[in-house]
Amino acid sequence: MTMLGRIGLLSVALLPCSPAIAATAERAAAGTLADGTVIEAITLTGANRVSARIISFGATLQSLTAPDRKGELADVLLGFDEAADYEALPSYFGVTVGRYANRIDGGRFMLDGKSYQVSQNDKGNSLHGGAMGFDKRQWRITSVTQGQQASVTLALTSADGDQGYPGKVEAQVTYTLDDSGTLTIRFDATTDKPTVINMTNHAIFNLAGDGAPVGALGHRLTIPAAAITPVSAQLIPTGDLRPVAGTAFDFRTPRTLDEGIRDGRDNQIVYARGYDHNFALDKGLTRSPELAARLEDPASGRVLEVLTTEPGIQLYTGNFLDGTVIGKGGHLYRMGDGIALEPQKFPDAPNQPQFESARVDAAKPYSHTMIYRLSVAP
């Protein structure tokens, strides 16, 4: 099925380069799944030394390499060196999340008067699409291009009733890199009957470079949001909006994450063991991507700006990383070793009519454009 919509813009602004030099795409085998299925990898490389490696399992952004202020390259994503480990050790690193990113209370919701029970994989709730969400599927590579832009498009068919969700869904993710360092991620989906869809990328960043011993809690974060959606002890939104003013959640001006992450006086920090909250962006739902977050590592100078068309962004500080996961380079990942900034519809929106609707119909396809813009501060 042909997906609707044009590829959106995701820029990673770094070093200037000659327009005569083409961006390249290299396709290769990258190991196998447990059933013998071959995992494929596409490495997109631009003339400014930015490169992105995408694997077919989970339509996953496995690595993103960029220079610091000294010109030294580093992979700024947490994850695994071996593609097969994304199946063997599922941890959401860099994956495409769907059908529904974040949590649905009890895995239940009503749609057109009918109750649906979807996969429960998080203390009785549904998280990131359930036990076999989009992140745990082998996606089809449908297109690879290179030239002024290098890109890969991956597709997945999700059957009617998959994980309990209604409607047959044709989902598509496109990553594009050009010689200016512009990396584009766009999500599109169509359905043959009403359903709910909320897709995002779950990259976890350490701008100092994966495995840097200082972790990421010294990064400075800005989020243009005057409110969060507070949660219960089960991390389900209460349905309210809580002003961030005067709290550990006020990132309207830059502050380091370690300033508030251990504030045990705030029950929201206690419930999540740190930050694991949706920020209601001041911009709301927009036709074109607008700024949702800015993250800066003062030591390396790397800066990440996240833009999105969606109304919310989830800040997650790796609170459930407890040293039992061995990632790239043999690093033991712990809380605070990386930061996720996940643009999205609000968690539990199918049960919260006051939130922006996540409903998708046959005549109204789903699309989401999110932007990671990397730069270097002097």
> What positions carry a catalytic annotation?
202, 342
Residue 247 token pair: 């709290």
Under DSSP, the state recorded for 271 is H
At residue 343, what are phi and psi to the nearest 5 degrees?
-65, 145
Q: How far apart are CA 112 and CA 235, in angstroms?
A: 26
Amino acid at 374: L
Count, in order, helices (H) and strands (E) of the chain.
2, 30
**Cis bond upstream, residue 99 (ω within 30):** yes
Q: Is the dihedral of CA 245, 251, 255, 260 positive or negative?
A: positive
**3-state SS, residue 238:** coil
Residues 332, 321: Cα–Cα separation, whole Å:
9
- Amino acid, single-letter form, for residue 367: S
